Structure 1
């Protein structure tokens, strides 16, 4: 099966399939926090991110090398700046989480769902439908209830999480803009993005004070490598490819709304898999987030054709 996405008119089923793919991305990303948390006990954050994305790059490198020269060039032209944006997102989220409360971080990153319609309006000159703003408001209310809202004083961690939310909104729109008139295969595009993130994290880990420890042993720290396998296969390869593909069939605002259901699925994973507790308010918030996503999916006419 070819992984090159033609620029011709997509199948009528493409918008519905892209909605389903994005909801699955949200589910997978929601589980990533619990999985990554266990791996980070065994290795530093930046080193772990470098391992995760360099492994992804190695897995997808054959797709980049096999692509015809024009398509490979398109993947590089679009993937390099998008990779830099995504590196900024991961760095802001990583250090932001370390410097603020978890509830603050969860609420502030969810502001992406509000920023995306305005970023689409500004960067792509496309005003989203009014219903999308309503869905975004419902999703944001759900995120506030799920996380407990914003608490405490404003600090550097809060600023970094807010920057990550802004960068997420910009990245979704820039992906649409940079790939709209280019025939970049999604696997090749994802390979370039992953390479930029992996190399960036590795260089930063080596440049910061403190020596990067040796990688965990395959035999004595198998949990670390199983976590890497899951995050590479599900949360990076599948999720990045699905999002890059879905953006060719959906508006950035729609993509942002569907993937914004990630915190709700993350909370469900924490409850049923990690044994954590969720308050009644949290359950209501999660239901609002998922409801907004399903409500968005039900509006078939909103998909971009």
Structure 2
């Protein structure tokens, strides 16, 4: 049995590429809330998720030719359970957001930053450094400041968002566990995950929506929003996340992804015209600081400070 790899065993260039990709994912996912809101004004939530991931699967269909090779079969074995976890995350988030306040949802989903070091410890028998736990709580406190003023009266929606946060932590760790030390196609892995989510959403829709889905809208705004979410927030984001997790540690990945609320707040402020308080900006700065801690070479940085 091979020993688990860590970020330190990966060439520094690949680590920096992974970090940059994760920050770009945080940017596009931060913008996705406003874009998705536009699309959901035209179509039901679960139906839209089925459309979004169904289109993703179709666009990535050529990558399934890899299934005839060992790399493709390895991606299939990992992609099926990871797709099921992703489906559970999206289902919890979708119904959770519908049943609670947006600020509550943003705060609770950020708990994945705190859960990930614990999940890494339990699922991978690898205890992260104590400073990783500290930065996780710094990021969490920053998110609380970012959403300051919301009333966290716990209800079913809050419970579903909490479950989604826990599943996000499990997802990052299981991606690492199922892909490390294995040669596989990251693009095929992303395609398999998308197919599982798209099919799963259709099945859930069939169970919960009497009369089935309405016909697709013809509005240009709907299709522009859909294409943005498919190309950037799904194909690019999940490909980048799968690649980065294979190169890095789950806790490091989670801290970098924890900057997502900052970019969401910036998008809301500059694109949607929402006002942010001083405390919100302070909270955003703390989240960015925690993300920088995860990505910057601290040993070099500390050595320079000591001079």
TM-score under structure 1 length normalisation? 0.92
Q: CA deviation at 1:102?
A: 1.3
Distance 2:158 2:36 in 1: 21
Partner of 1:206: 206
Q: CA deviation at 1:150?
A: 5.9
Partner of 1:162: 162
Question: 1:1-305 counterparts in 2 under 5 A?
Answer: 10-66=10-66, 68-148=68-148, 151-211=151-211, 212-217=213-218, 221-299=219-297
Q: CA contact under 8 A between 2:23 and 2:256: conserved in structure 1?
A: yes
Q: CA contact under 8 A between 2:66 and 2:73: conserved in structure 1?
A: no
Superposed CA deviations along residues 32-56 of structure 1, whole A, max 9, x for unmatched, are: 0000000000000001100100100
Change (3 A) 1:196 1:300: farther
Q: CA deviation at 1:12?
A: 3.2
Q: CA contact under 8 A between 1:104 and 1:149: conserved in structure 2?
A: no
SS in 1 for 2:50: helix
Distance 1:274 1:72 in 2: 42
Instruction: State the number of aligned residues.
Output: 291
What CA RMSD, in Å, does the superposition of the two structures yield over aligned residues? 1.5
Partner of 2:6: none
More helix by share: 2
Change (3 A) 1:81 1:278: same
Change (3 A) 1:194 1:149: farther
Q: CA deviation at 1:107?
A: 0.8
Superposed CA deviations along residues 229-267 of structure 1, whole A, max 9, x for unmatched, are: 111111111111111111111100000000011011000
Distance 2:227 2:87 in 1: 20
Ranges in structure 2 where 5+ consecutive residues have no aligned partner: 1-8, 301-307
Q: CA deviation at 1:291?
A: 1.7
Change (3 A) 1:66 1:74: closer
Superposed CA deviations along residues 1-48 of structure 1, whole A, max 9, x for unmatched, are: xxxxxxxx7543001111111111101100000000000000000011
SS in 2 for 1:247: helix
SS in 2 for 1:167: helix
Change (3 A) 1:163 1:149: farther
Partner of 1:3: none
Distance 2:150 2:108 in 1: 8
Q: CA deviation at 1:299?
A: 3.0
SS in 2 for 1:13: helix
